[in-house]
Structure 1
């Protein structure tokens, strides 16, 4: 299909806005858990030294459910349409978020509280596995060809709006409530707000148009009966490239942004309230950077922009984590801003680039096998590993070493990657 034909079939701005807004809810809930990690550790796992690691470990275990959810929902989306799949996934998210807000605590039911929290996080991870890839594919398929990077970057920008809402809600509750009320009931309020937002998204999604690319497949009778087998046969290289790009995006985001509030508290560089303020600053930076990076990839190509971001990820994080561990508040804000800029850029360009590795047939399943698998390994596991290694070694720059190592491993993949931006091929 020509670029002009694709542009003529682009979905309405209303449907695109609904899809982009969906990632607000998704990232609100997932980052809210990280920003409340120290509080949840006390409420669900007790006050001993291992509680924070158990809380972060629960986050990691839930993340391992993302590939399973991505495969399940990816096949739904590839066989029955993007819209139907996204309705089911957001419904499951709504239920899991609401039940989390209503959970009894360790004081009520003992160790079963932590087990129940882990179970609900796994349900959430399963649902989110289909969410982000579904939204990214929908935005890319519905955007004009020359603006795919910019439009698809809205998923990354909107997700950071969700993170900003999460850190804002956490900061508001932490600053307004005394510790006793925070642990007793205050932590529930932001999760209840998340459940309400998720329900609102489900209602909005009922009015969304179907992806024009999936409608094309239906007209041409090319919808794959076995999407996983299709992409494994035709898109193995795309799966590998998607894995590499998403590994870089995940480690820069979850170590370079989401873990930073826990890091500065853990190394005694800031209080919980100050750490949340730092997270707000990082979220604002990402919201500003992502559309710029997405538009740059439309103009200059995906490969050059990703290459520059990968080099920055290799050279800067060790120094930046050392800066944030110091006593200077200005250094912490500078370090957080630069890390957020790099991570936001990778997320923006990586989203459209990974989706462009596949044809419309089987695209969601391809993203599940490549991008989502990498996110599970390099997103969910890296914060708990960073916390463990910093505590074990006593050397604050270690999280920066983790980011740099992944960037150096991904660099050869980006150097050999073919260009996918329509305007620059």
Structure 2
């Protein structure tokens, strides 16, 4: 071991940075939603809504994957869990890049794309939560917030890479080239990236907590049942933390390009470049929030972010709907900073709600159930409400409502930072 971590620095680094793939794929789909709506759903007024609906449906598979991969993680080890989820993800992205288009096979193209999204949703169910469990168990207790925040930052690196690749593809190719073959490029990049991460993970060490439990024959025969019966309060708290993090991220960051394009503030390509700036802001703020959570505790940071989440988004979405690119940039960056902070502290705060006996299962179910409702569904709901009401403030109202709802949970929850446990 090196640097005081319970596993090697290399294993910590691989685990922390490997979350780049999950967020690359899922944010790519949202950032590329307007392009995919033409390629797979034939274009037209309803195509963007149908594309976002496909994103939402795929999220239903995440809790299914969480149950399967959580069981593997708690009974076979964190390492096998992370290797299997990444292997499936690699194959799904490669298959997506090879799909036929609407112009080639008609409506069957949309069905095939939906099937691939469901496979991705299933594999992602064991991805981020497995990484957080591993980092929590392998890092120094007094630096868990910082280390886990690096995984959140790496996730945003994946999002940044996704928006950059999408923006370059849209900017450099003609519409005909984009719909014919250019749309495949970002997914091929993702497949190569996932394969590289799988190879790096194959050399990771196993979690020391899992090794200890296995050596002592203390592994739970049914980890999910153990979490539901012994740690149900932790499940509820993890759900609340994840609900706030999900809606700030998926409405406050990844939905923004589609929002800006649909309300006519900026062009499709410019909206992607604006999101690139927002992604850089998230990467910059995330480790600072992680350090803050180590210094003052998870609870006060979550409370502060919930207050910001209640106060800012309505104004920011109204601001972004104006004709000014500068206002759009200010709104996007402000929302991104709140979402980045929520991801940074939420990563470690959710993992610390559970004991190592059923951590992968409890964390997986609590986290992914919330992402189905407040992550996968919310871009679809936000777009539908904006179109039906004509009000650009609706996405901000959605974020504020969730922030207000979870604030009492954050106020009443116990502190879980090792040096400040109350």
Q: Distance in 2 between matches of 1:9 and 1:101?
A: 39
**1:213 pairs with 2:209:** yes
| Residues in 1 aligned to 2:297 and 2:219: alpha-carbon distance in whole angstroms | 29
Number of equivalences? 421
Residues 1:120 and 2:124 are matched in the alignment: no
Q: For residues 408 and 111 of structure 2, what CA distance do their matches in structure 1 show? A: 41
Distance in 2, Cα, partners of 1:232 & 1:56: 32
Q: Quote the Cα distance in structure 2 between the aligned partners of 1:9 and 1:80.
A: 22
What is the aligned partner in structure 1 of residue 420 from structure 2? 424
- Are the counterparts in 1 of residues 95 and 116 from structure 2 also a CA contact under 8 Å? yes
- Cα contact 2:156–2:279 (8 A) shared by 1: yes
Residue equivalent to 1:20: 16
Superposition CA RMSD, Å: 1.2
Q: In 1, are the aligned partners of 2:134 and 2:207 still within 8 Å (CA)?
A: yes
Q: Deviations over 1:146-188 (max 9, x none)?
A: 0000000111100000000000000111110011101110010
- Offset at 1:220? 2.2
| Structure 1 SS opposite 2:220 | coil
Q: Residue 108 of structure 1 aligns with which residue?
A: 104
Write the distance in 1 (CA, Å) between the matches of 2:2 and 2:386: 50
- Verify the 8 A CA contact 1:7 1:145 in the aligned structure 2: no
Partner of 1:328: 324
Query: Are the equivalent residues in 2 in contact too, given 1:136–1:352 (CA < 8 A)?
Result: yes
Per-residue CA deviation, residues 102-124 of structure 1 (Å, 9 max, x unaligned), is: 00001111111000000000000
Q: Deviations over 1:376-425 (max 9, x none)?
A: 11000000000000000000010000000000110110010000001122
Is 1:347 the counterpart of 2:343? The answer is yes
Distance 1:354 1:7 in 2: 25
Q: Report the TM-score, using the length of structure 2 for normalisation.
A: 0.98
Q: Distance in 2 between matches of 1:372 and 1:22?
A: 18
Q: Do residues 375 (structure 1) and 367 (structure 2) align?
A: no
Give CA deviations for 1:296-348 in whole Å, capped at 9, x if unaligned: 00000000000000000001000000010011111111111110110000011
- Please tell me whether residue 185 in structure 1 is matched to residue 212 in structure 2: no
Residue 2 of structure 2 contacts residue 9 of structure 2 at CA under 8 Å; is this kept in 1? no
Task: Could you tell me which runs of 5 or more consecutive residues in structure 1 were left unpaired when the two chains were aligned.
Answer: none
Q: By how many angstroms is 1:20 displaced?
A: 1.6
**Shift >4 Å, 4+ stretches:** 5-9
For 2:148, the equivalent position in structure 1 comes to 152
The aligned counterpart of 2:303 is 307
- The reply to whether residue 41 of structure 1 matches residue 37 of structure 2 is yes
> Alignment partner for residue 171 of structure 1, among 159, 167, 171?
167
- Alpha-carbon contact 1:6-1:145 (below 8 Å) kept: no
Q: Is residue 290 from structure 1 mapped to residue 286 from structure 2 by the alignment? A: yes
How far does the alpha carbon of each residue in 1:56-92 deviate from its partner, in whole angstroms, 9 at most, with x for none? 0000001111011011100000000000111111000
Provide the C-alpha distance between the structure 2 equivalents of 1:28 and 1:297, rounded to a whole number of angstroms: 26
Aligned partners of 1:335, 1:191: CA distance in 2, in Å? 29
- 2:219 aligns with 223
8 Å CA contact 2:69–2:85 kept in 1: the answer is yes
User: What is the CA-CA distance between 1:360 and the residue it aligns to?
Assistant: 0.5
State whether residues 164 and 280 of structure 1, in contact with CA within 8 Å, keep that contact through their aligned partners in structure 2.
Answer: yes
1:77 is matched with: 73
CA deviation digits over 1:1-37, x for unaligned, max 9?
xxxx999661111111111221101111111111110
Q: 2:233 aligns to what?
A: 237
| In 2, Cα distance between equivalents of 1:324 and 1:395 | 12
Shift of 1:246: 0.2
For residues 300 and 8 of structure 1, the distance between their equivalents in structure 2, rounded to whole angstroms, comes to: 21
**Which SS does the other structure have where 1:196 is aligned?**
helix
Aligned partner (choices 194, 200, 207) of residue 196 of structure 2: 200
State the SS of the aligned residue for 1:327: coil
Distance 1:279 1:337 in 2: 8
1:266 to 255, 262, 269: 262
> How far apart are 1:219 and its partner, in Å?
2.3
**d(CA) in 2 for partners of 1:204, 1:310:** 36
